[in-house]
Structure 1
Amino acid sequence: MSTQIVILAAGMGTRLGRSLPKCLTELADGRTIMQQQMENIREAFGADVKITVVVGYKYEHIVEAFPTASFVYNEQYDQTNTSKSLMRALKATGSSGVVWMNGDVVFDPAALKRAAPFIASEQSFVSVNTSSVSDEEVKYTVDAEGFIDELSKQVKHGLGEAVGINYVSKADKQTLVRQLGRVDNQDYFERGIELGIEQNGLRFVPVDISDLYAVEVDFAEDLERANLFV
């Protein structure tokens, strides 16, 4: 079975202040954020990779731009957060493990290549940057064995930041789906991971990509920073 990839792109992206979905924001090299994601994915996993995009806000523009992708519609895109978009996508992708990413991440394609051994061994993971720990970002801690323990914006004394590229193994997938269904509509998907760890013993490893670039574009200054790399 080919690798399953999910891109979460249902949100309105109001903080960036653009009229189109944030994933269609143009970068300095002329590509959109999602176009560079698609190219990075195919470079890492090959042309036959299965890509599913969760859409909502002005979805027709994304469908028109990427007609070869598969799409899942989050009709409550203006009332829910990434937890519910990811839940819909995981339900739509069968029983296999899934790599997923936020639709606003500009990243080095080497980040996916580094993750390949974990995907091959069916090890769930969260990609992290240990060189930066901002109060506004999702942070993490680990347990005594080095697996993710806490994962949220509220984490104190975080070891680094989650960068928005993750994997759930086929063995962990249904547990994560159940937890995503239980969390609040406004929760990020990280809350579902936290509950899976706490209540079901799921094990997510942090994959350090601090030496590579990965920028989540929320504000204009993030876009400026991302454009330094492309």
Structure 2
Amino acid sequence: MQPVEGAVIAAAGLGSRLGLGMPKCMLEIEGTTVLSRLIAVLEKHVPSIHVVVGYREELIIDHCARFHRNVVIVRNPEFRTTNTAASMTCGARGLRRKVLFLDGDLLISEASIANFVTKAQESDVLLGVTRAKSEQAVFVQTSCNPQQPLSANGFTRELAQPYEWANVVAGPPDLVASADGFVYEALIPLLPLPAAMLDLCEIDTPSDLKQAESFVRTI
């Protein structure tokens, strides 16, 4: 068993699909930023948290200086020309053991992240899945045998499935270092992978944001 050493939150992107002109993690829902909510559920279960910044980084840096002085800020100055995988790899520098990688636009229940971190100790790589509900979901094809642990066997954007990729994965610090495209694409050569359910909501589009506003009242 290998405990999770730290979490890397990728928050460097432009958030262009939402189009609000700010990092998505800085959106306030019910008076609290998405980033603050994410840090609050993580800090009880992982020893360290790295937040990778790029687009309008001053907003996140100032916010963390005021409210989250325990997190480590990692800059990705190439955020306009690199992808989320590059930010995650950048954020994992200095970590030597298992890392929890997450997008910065997630709202997650504390109970499910606690369960995920516990399960992550048992596998070299653990993939996060959630009930399909996002507007632009990447669906996960899973094992159908209820007698067996949940396993991810493939990804698809075309064929609707009960579960979608949660943009959460635990593994070695260099897990997605060679990715040229999306993070999940770097995981395809490793399939099948053990998977664990997460109760979460991702914010990519205005429709997702409306769902998120309802979701926070349930966690």
TM-score by length of 1: 0.79
Aligned equivalent of 2:166, options 139, 149, 163: 163
Q: CA deviation at 1:137?
A: 1.1
Root-mean-square deviation (CA, aligned residues, Å) is: 2.5
Q: Secondary structure at the match of 1:166?
A: strand
**Partner Cα separation in structure 1 for residue 133 and residue 61 of structure 2:** 35
Classify 1:76/1:119 alpha carbon distance in 2 versus 1 (closer, same or farther; 3 Å).
same
User: Hey, what does 1:53 align to over in structure 2?
Assistant: 51
Q: Secondary structure at the match of 2:43?
A: helix
Gaps of 5+ in 1: none
Q: Which amino acid aligns with 1:14?
A: S
**Partner Cα separation in structure 2 for residue 229 and residue 108 of structure 1:** 10
* Count of aligned residue pairs for this structure pair: 206
Q: Which amino acid aligns with 2:109?
A: D
**Partner Cα separation in structure 1 for residue 185 and residue 4 of structure 2:** 28
**Partner Cα separation in structure 1 for residue 38 and residue 135 of structure 2:** 26
Q: CA deviation at 1:112?
A: 0.8
Q: CA deviation at 1:89?
A: 2.1
Q: Which amino acid aligns with 2:26?
A: L
Contact 1:24-1:34 within 8 A present in 2 as well: yes
User: Hey, what does 1:34 align to over in structure 2?
Assistant: 35
User: Hey, what does 1:141 align to over in structure 2?
Assistant: 141
**Partner Cα separation in structure 1 for residue 203 and residue 128 of structure 2:** 16
Classify 1:223/1:71 alpha carbon distance in 2 versus 1 (closer, same or farther; 3 Å).
same
**Partner Cα separation in structure 1 for residue 160 and residue 29 of structure 2:** 33
Gaps of 5+ in 2: none
Q: Which amino acid aligns with 1:137?
A: A
User: Hey, what does 1:205 align to over in structure 2?
Assistant: 194
**Partner Cα separation in structure 1 for residue 4 and residue 212 of structure 2:** 30
Contact 2:18-2:206 within 8 A present in 1 as well: yes
Q: CA deviation at 1:157?
A: 5.4
User: Hey, what does 2:90 align to over in structure 1?
Assistant: 88
Q: Secondary structure at the match of 1:43?
A: coil
User: Hey, what does 1:108 align to over in structure 2?
Assistant: 109
User: Hey, what does 2:210 align to over in structure 1?
Assistant: 224
Q: Secondary structure at the match of 2:166?
A: strand
Q: CA deviation at 1:113?
A: 1.1
Contact 1:84-1:189 within 8 A present in 2 as well: no
Q: CA deviation at 1:73?
A: 1.9
Contact 2:4-2:99 within 8 A present in 1 as well: no
Classify 1:151/1:87 alpha carbon distance in 2 versus 1 (closer, same or farther; 3 Å).
farther
1:43 aligns with 2:49: no
Classify 1:110/1:76 alpha carbon distance in 2 versus 1 (closer, same or farther; 3 Å).
same
**Partner Cα separation in structure 2 for residue 110 and residue 43 of structure 1:** 11
- Identical aligned pairs, as a percentage? 23
Q: Secondary structure at the match of 2:117?
A: helix
Q: Deviations over 1:94-134 (max 9, x none)?
A: 2210011110011211121111322332442122124x266
Kindly indicate which of the two structures has a greater share of residues assigned to helix: 1
Contact 1:27-1:33 within 8 A present in 2 as well: yes
**Partner Cα separation in structure 2 for residue 57 and residue 7 of structure 1:** 14
User: Hey, what does 2:61 align to over in structure 1?
Assistant: 63
User: Hey, what does 1:72 align to over in structure 2?
Assistant: 74
Kindly indicate which of the two structures has a greater share of residues assigned to strand: 2
Q: How does 1:162-201 map to 2 (within 5 A)?
A: 162-168=165-171, 170=172, 173-174=173-174, 176-177=175-176, 180-181=177-178, 183-184=179-180, 187-195=181-189, 197=190
**Partner Cα separation in structure 1 for residue 56 and residue 156 of structure 2:** 28
